[in-house]
Structure formats: C-alpha cells, structure tokens
Amino acid sequence: MQLPEHGANPLRLYDRLGMEVPEQVLDFSENVNPLGIPEEIRKSWPSLLEALPHYPDPEGEPFLSAAASYHGVPRKRVLAGNGAAELFSVIADRYRGRSALLIHPTFSEYRATLLSKGAKCTDLVTDPADPKFPEDRVLERMKDADVLYVCNPNNPTGVRIPEETIRRLAEHGLRTGCELVIDEAFMDFAGEEYSFIPRLEEFPNTVVIRSMTKMYGIPGIRLGYMIGSPNRIAGHRNAVPHWNVNGIAARIGSLCFGEEEFRQRAVRYCREERQQLAGFLEAAGCTVTDSETNYISFRPNGSPGLYRGLLGQGIVLRHSENFLGMDGAWFRVGIKEREKMKVLKEALAGWFGEDSIS
C-alpha cells in the first residue's frame, strides 16, 4: 500500500492504510508554525471579507509590494504565487528536456514537477545523519546539469547550508552554465540573516522561493513568492495564470510581513521544543538531525512497527518512504504545542522503553 506523498491530511492516511481512526488524532506530520495564525490576521478578518466582491490585483498586490519591501528589493524582482507549489511548477517548465540535479533527501515536489514537465533528473543521494553538505560532489555534478535545486534549510532534515557554501555553488553555476533554484520555505525559522536573497543581484542564474505557509500558519490560502533577476521574473510572470493570487490571500500576506514579534516568538518556542525533543530522542538511542527549523527528523535504533503503532495511538509522524536516502527508516516530527509534545514523548517512551519523560 502506497503511503501519501506529503504530511498533513491524516484522515486520508488512515483510510489509505485501512486503519480505524482513533478518537483523538495528533498530527505531527505537518510542519507549520505551532503558534498558529498571527492574532492580527484574526482581528482583521471582517475587513478582509471586503475583498470578496472585487477581482484581485493581477500581480498580487498589496502582497507583492509588501514582500519586496520586506526584503529590500524592487517589485520587478518579485513574483507572487498561489503557494510555492505553483511556482515550482512554473519553474519546471523552464527545464523541459533539460537536466536537473537534486540532492536527496529533499522535498519531493521538485522531482515530481520536473518529471511532469519532461525534465531529466539526476539524483545525488546523501546520508541524512551527516550534517555536512557534500559540496565537492555537488560541484562536480553541476557541470553536467542545467539547474541545481537546493532546499535550505533542508526538508526533511532541517539542516541549514552555510551561506558561503551557497555562494560558491552560485559562482560555480555562473562558470558552468548551471542555474540554481533555492527553496527557503523554512528560512524564517533559521534566521533571515542566512537568506541568500541579499546576494541575488550578483547572481542572475539564481532564484529563491519563499513560502508564507510555514511561519504564519496559513496553508489554507496558498501563498508564496519568488525573487530573482528582473528578466527571469518577467519570463515566469508570463507563465502564471491571470489572478493567480486571490484578494484575501494578498491582503493576509501583506499583513504577515509586519509580524516581527510573532516571528521572534515562534523561533524561540520552536528552538526550545526542538532542543528538548532532540535530547529526549538521543537519550533513547535515536539518530537525530541537526535541525534549525520547526521540525526534526530521527532514526530509531530498532523499534519495528513504530509508525503503525503510533498511528493506532492517534499519533501521526511523517514517514520517509518517498525521501531518497531515508527510505522509510527515518521519521519527521513537526513541533507542536507543549502539551502535544508531552503526549508524543510519553508515547515514544513506551516504544523505546524509557522510564523518564523530559
């Protein structure tokens, strides 16, 4: 039985596996902000409804200008998308019949969208337990690729690639004719100071994709954006549908950029809970990734049947069956509210035979 390709939607998972749904289900498979939606969005909801009778702005305003202002770049270097997923599909069109280099384990949508558009994918599989980026191997493979996809911080490991490493990849790409697509969907949790966006003016061969879903807890409205050179963005803009960002999403997105205190609070909370969970898992003999995000991946030392066993208890982890290099042996956990984290650790302790809960 094939498991779902992504986290979230746990009821579909139970249905696919033919399992009875427990009375209470805690979904650790999705990795959006555990603090939920910014309070300002909730307060603004009545006024947001005023957008409903009107056609949205064709470029996604006021969101487009808010994103440009937040990153200190001109509007012409930003493209708004109906979620990062739409932008990955648009980008993949560029590489039809061309070669893409993917570093695994990584987000499965890169490969799926590229193959659907007729691109050829070269897979470089690495060890999730090794936090060091395989720079030499990647540089060697880039000479035969038209584009390199980089997930930073990585999904599913949460490990961040140093900015200077990204710079060397981009410089090498300029010399070899290999473009870069950098997915920074979780960079908010690692720290904006690590983003490659300020360097993009030097590298017309590189684009950065950002998602509003993860930090602001708004997967239901689908909103993301791409930043790159004006020429590159203009070309992609011609490929997206008219009115691809709805009016309510554009207004919500513009409000989110003003939520600095919310972002800092989320980063602090996720760091604290992530470190506690990592310590607990390591004490139980698990191998744990050095994540800097709102999720963590681990490989248990034994414990066969863990995934289905936890499902039976109403606890849903993110499986790794479709992450090359993890191959079902690892699990990803999204950080949740403190009480839910306690329930998770109690359940894991039962499997690992731990007597104490931290």
Residue range 14-44, pLDDT digits in tens? 999 999 999 999 999 999 999 999 999 999 9
Chain length of the chain: 358
If asked whether residues 245 and 122 sit together in one domain, one would say yes
Number of domains in the chain: 2
**Structural tokens at position 295:** 């999720």
Mean pLDDT along residues 67-77: 99
If asked whether residues 58 and 161 sit together in one domain, one would say yes
pLDDT over 70 at 356, yes or no:
no
Residue 1 lies in a domain: no
Mean per-residue pLDDT of the chain: 95
DSSP 28-55: -S--S-TT-S-HHHHHHHHHHGGGTTSP
If asked whether residues 137 and 242 sit together in one domain, one would say yes
Residue 121 lies in a domain: yes
* Residue 233: half-sphere exposure toward Cβ, Cα within 13 Å: 23
Q: How many CB atoms lie within 10 A of CB 190?
A: 21
Backbone angles phi, psi at 235, to 5 degrees: -65, -40
Residue 23 lies in a domain: yes
Residue 43 lies in a domain: no
If asked whether residues 328 and 249 sit together in one domain, one would say no
Query: Which pLDDT score, from 0 to 100, does residue 354 have?
Result: 59
User: How sure is the predictor about 4, in pLDDT bands with cuts at 50, 70 and 90?
Assistant: low
pLDDT over 80 at 358, yes or no:
no
pLDDT over 50 at 353, yes or no:
yes
pLDDT above 70 coverage of the chain, percent: 97
Strand 179-183 and strand 206-211: the pairing is parallel
If asked whether residues 86 and 222 sit together in one domain, one would say yes
Q: How far apart are CA 242 and CA 236, in angstroms?
A: 12
Read off the CATH number of the domain in which 236 is found: 3.40.640.10
Structural domain ending residue among the three candidates 256, 277, 311: 256
Based on its alpha-carbon atoms, the radius of gyration of the chain, rounded to whole angstroms, reads 20
Residue 154 lies in a domain: yes
| Helix/strand/coil percent split, the chain, to 5 | 45, 15, 40
Q: What angle do CA 55, 57, 58 make, to 5 degrees?
A: 105
Mean pLDDT along residues 43-54: 95
Structural domain ending residue among the three candidates 228, 256, 284: 256
pLDDT over 90 at 338, yes or no:
yes
pLDDT over 50 at 158, yes or no:
yes
Residue 62 lies in a domain: yes
If asked whether residues 312 and 178 sit together in one domain, one would say no
If asked whether residues 184 and 202 sit together in one domain, one would say yes
Query: Which pLDDT score, from 0 to 100, does residue 239 have?
Result: 94
Q: What angle do CA 25, 351, 284 make, to 5 degrees?
A: 115
Q: Whole-model pTM?
A: 0.95
How deeply is 256 buried, as exposed, middle or buried, from its count of CB atoms within 10 A (0-12, 13-18, 19+)?
A: buried
Which tops the pLDDT comparison, 214 or 5?
A: 214
- Which stretch of DSSP H or E encloses residue 60? none
If asked whether residues 182 and 247 sit together in one domain, one would say yes
**Structural tokens at position 214:** 């993860």
Residue 315 lies in a domain: yes
**Structural tokens at position 286:** 């698990």
For residue range 240-268, list pLDDT tens digits in order: 999 999 999 999 999 999 999 999 999 99
If asked whether residues 69 and 195 sit together in one domain, one would say yes
Structural domain ending residue among the three candidates 256, 272, 297: 256
Backbone angles phi, psi at 336, to 5 degrees: -125, -170
Residue 2 lies in a domain: no
If asked whether residues 212 and 319 sit together in one domain, one would say no
pLDDT above 90 coverage of the chain, percent: 92
Alpha carbon 275 to chain centroid distance?
20
Q: How far apart are CA 9 and CA 29, in angstroms?
A: 9
For residue range 105-144, list pLDDT tens digits in order: 999 999 999 999 999 999 999 999 999 999 999 999 999 9
Query: Which pLDDT score, from 0 to 100, does residue 9 have?
Result: 84
**Structural tokens at position 264:** 């800092």
For residue range 269-316, list pLDDT tens digits in order: 999 999 999 999 999 999 999 999 999 999 999 877 999 999 999 999
User: How sure is the predictor about 357, in pLDDT bands with cuts at 50, 70 and 90?
Assistant: very low
Q: How many CB atoms lie within 10 A of CB 180?
A: 24
**Structural tokens at position 2:** 């094939």
Read off the CATH number of the domain in which 20 is found: 3.90.1150.10
Provide the residue range defining the domain that includes 338.
10-30+261-352
If asked whether residues 84 and 206 sit together in one domain, one would say yes
If asked whether residues 16 and 77 sit together in one domain, one would say no
Query: Which pLDDT score, from 0 to 100, does residue 1 have?
Result: 52
